[in-house]
Each structure stands twice: as C-alpha cells, then as structure tokens.
Structure 1
Amino acid sequence: MSLVDEARAIRDRAYVPYSNFKVGAAIRAASGKVYVGVNVENVAYPEGTCAEAGAIAAMIAGGDTRIAEVAVIADSPEPVPCCGGCRQKLAEFADADVPVTLATMAGKTLQTTVGQILPGVFTVAHMQRD
C-alpha cells in the first residue's frame, strides 16, 4: 500500500464534529515502519490536534525518531498544505529533502519536500550563543 493509500485509509477515523473536514496523514519512518494520524477537533478549536502531529506522536511512541517520507490527504479541491505548526514539527524529525506528498480524495497530488514547505526553518542552531 502506498503512503497516500495509508493516509486515505485512516482519514475516515478523524474526529471532526465541528468542521467535518477530515485529514489523514501517514509517515514512513527511517526504519521503514508506517505511522498514521488523523485530525482530532475539540470544541475549544485551538486545542485540536492535526493529523500530521498525531502521526508524529505515533512514530515517537513506536520508538522511531526520523521521518523518511510524509503523505497528507484531505477532501478538498486542491492538495491541502500542512499548517505552520505541523511544518515545524515535521522539520524536527526530517531532513529538508524528505519527500512530502499532499493529496486530495479525488486523486490530485502535489509533490514537495520538508525544506520546500518550510523555508527558513527554526533549528537548535538559532539558540546557540557565541
């Protein structure tokens, strides 16, 4: 099963009673294991969890710490980009050249990389003092 198919398969489990906008994400770790996540809304909107963050949490809980590939899918006319917070979260565990596939339920895809979706990433090097 492709990574987009993995994201598609989990997407229906999203908990979205307010927006009805289901998102599924799948991450292939450097180990080859696949971890999935869905968005989980909360009546206090800012307290929800994005699908990408859920997949990252599953990856860490599974004992992996490096991302090799990412896929995100939603039912929208165009592929939906990751939010800014998820871009930074992905960059924490992925090199800039890690492939990211953004997809729609209708089959449109956008191929990009972690570095392309988050130019100017904040890193630990920014916290170094001379």
Structure 2
Amino acid sequence: MIKEDISLALDYLKNSSPIYSDFSVASVLTDVDGNKFVGVNVELPSLTNGICAERNALYHAIAEGSKKYKRIVVVGGLHGEVTQLTPPCCVCRQALMDTCDPETFEIVVAINEEDYKVFKLKDLVPMGFGPDRLED
C-alpha cells in the first residue's frame, strides 16, 4: 500500500504550483477506511494564501467527511525532481497533530517506491501540542 501511495504522489507532483520557490510537493493522505486524499502545494501571488500539499490533502479529507487517518505520504523536490526526502513543514506537522493520533499516524517521506522512510507523528513532533492538552 505504501508503494502505491508513493506512486500516486509522484504522479500528482506535476500538478503542484510552486510559482516562486520552484519546489514541488505532493502528498497522499490515507484514512483508516483506506480512502485516499491527494494534495499538492500551491503558491499564489499573495504569498499567505498558498497552501502546502499536506494540509491540502488533510483539508480535502475533512471536506469529504473523513475523520480518522492512518498515514500520509510526502514527495517533493526542486524543479519537480525528487532527489531527497522532503518531510512536512512545522505548520503541516502541527495540523497533523491537531487531527491525527501521534502514536499511530505514519508520515512516509519518499524519493521513489523503493527509497523511503516511515516515521510516527510523535517522533517528528516531540512534546507536541495536540487536542489532548485541551481535555480536563
């Protein structure tokens, strides 16, 4: 399944719109039911209105009614060429902390279907702030 998600993310990489950075990113979020939600980074002339691929996929999932997530695959590279692992930015990591179980949720960063690493969200956001901090 991970390799299929990596392949799907690589296919969508061409749809990203990095008009300033020229750094393309695509992601595939899988929920616990196996549904896939794809996102790409979008940069806009008014810089603050752009969005990262990971949050794009997450918000797409939320818009479709999905609530529990298993994993996200992330690929990215300069000029659309994936040559190194591209982990989510801190804003995306926080959005994932806000919506995913850090103990079980997986973040897969990949170059291709054979060269990838899998992390638990808790390992990429040590001492992270999440919804559990708001409970009595």
Q: Does TM, normalized by the shorter one, top 0.5?
A: yes
Q: Deviations for 1:38-83, whole angstroms, at most 9, x for unmatched residues?
A: 0000223333200000000110111101111110001243201110
Instruction: Provide TM-score, normalisation by structure 1.
Output: 0.88
Q: Distance in 2 between matches of 1:128 and 1:114?
A: 20
Question: How large is the Cα RMSD of the aligned pairs?
Answer: 2.0
Q: For residues 125 and 68 of structure 1, what CA distance do their matches in structure 2 show?
A: 18
Match of 2:131 among 121, 124, 127: 124
Identity %: 24
Shift of 1:107: 5.3
Aligned residue in 2 for 1:47: 49
TM-score scaled by structure 2? 0.84
- Does residue 106 of structure 2 align to residue 99 of structure 1? yes
Moved over 4 A (4+): none
Q: Which moved more, 1:36-45 or 1:103-112?
A: 103-112
Distance across 2 between alignment mates of 1:27 and 1:81: 14
Q: Give structure 1 stretches of 5+ with no counterpart.
A: none
Indicate the residue corresponding to 1:90 in structure 2. 96
| Structure-2 residue corresponding to 1:27 | 29
Cα pair 2:72 2:106 within 8 Å, conserved = yes
Answer whether contact 2:16 2:25 (CA < 8 A) is retained. Answer: yes
- C-alpha displacement of 1:128: 5.2
Corresponding letter in the other structure for 1:112:
F
Q: Distance in 1 between matches of 2:96 and 2:128?
A: 10
Cα-to-partner distance string for 1:72-104 (whole Å, 9 max, x where unaligned): 001243201110010011122221221211012
What is the CA–CA distance in structure 2 between the aligned matches of 1:77 and 1:32, rounded to whole Å?
Answer: 28
